[in-house]
Amino acid sequence: MAVRTYLQAISDGLREEMRSDERVFVMGEDVGAFGGAFKVTDGLLEEFGAARVRDTPIAEAGIVGTAVGAALAGLRPVCEMQFGDFVACGFDQLVNVAGKMHYRLGLAVPLTVRLPVGGGFSGGPFHSQNPEAWFMHAPGLKVVAPSTPADAKGLLAAAIRDPNPVIFLEHKHLYRRVKGEVPEAALPTPMTARIARPGEDLSVFAYGAMVHTALEAVSELEADVEVVDLRSLVPLDEEAILASVRKTSKALVLDEANATCAAGAQVAALIADRAFEDLDGPVRRLATPDVPIPFSPPLEQAVLPGTTRVKEAIRELLDY
């Protein structure tokens, strides 16, 4: 075990997969000589060379389309979108080509798309989005969102080795703020939920940076609250979600994404559909309002779910 930041864990995971499998290569804007916009790919060019660390034009559709072709040819490309928001330019290649290739032709597309997502750093409306729900709605794509350094490394290994296209959501706010013990060996993390904090009174469901928000909020309460880190959004670990709700009988679902049709809506629908008789209160959701993320730091903090709002929501549901 070694203590690593979230960013270092992702970088280590990339390096180890590239060392162990010559089919793995990295491509994206400034991933080579510059080392990536956030320095995740720093040092890879020197170790693996320009054939496996490819700087691309500013053309996300071209990046994803080229990667799909490479995956079909037997390689395992890892694409980096400089900011997750920019993936919209490659949406057609991801949703209509990569996601449907197996259904149409029975072909594997072992493609990983790394998306630096989320707010909290005053990046404004074009650099702070959480686009996971777009891809949850598209058949054929897997979507994962690690919250810890260990899971970031493990889920990246799982994504790269998967025969399906995987959207890998890495939260920018966690890059250098979160540290933890990470296994030296590249051990794939299963695409299942984990219990981040066990409890009996209420279940909070979250993923990515919201897991840490939930844990901070719960630590300031006297209630015995369970925090479930979803880790994977597609596939969604339905049994783990239902087991937690059936134990606590109350559920709060957190999203940093805009509320309408967010990942949490799917979790809430699942609970209402299959655990209704186990509930002692309504399924509550807490998410960002349906507005672009403001550039102004005070306005950004006003719209993003923070610990104060999470504590208020938990107290209200506990008192129901």
Q: Which residue, 274, 218, 281, 197, is CA-closest to 243? A: 274
Amino acid identity for residue 304 in this structure: L
Among candidate residues 127, 171, 173, 212, the one labeled active-site is: 127
CA separation, residue 315 to residues 131, 254, 311 (Å) = 29, 15, 6
What six digits make up the tokens of 5?
Answer: 């930041």
Q: Is 171 a catalytic residue?
A: no
CA separation, residue 277 to residues 42, 173, 198, 246, 250 (Å) = 52, 38, 22, 9, 11
| Residue 72, CB-side half-sphere exposure with 13 Å CA sphere | 15
**Phi-psi domain of 261 (left: phi exceeds 0; alpha: psi -120 through 50; beta: other):** left
Query: For residues 214, 240, 187 and 159, what is the CA-based torsion angle, rounded to 10 degrees?
Result: -90
**Extended beta strands in the chain, E state:** 2-5, 24-28, 53-55, 76-80, 112-117, 142-144, 166-171, 179-182, 194-197, 202-206, 225-229, 232-234, 251-258, 284-288
Query: Which residues are the active-site residues?
Result: 127
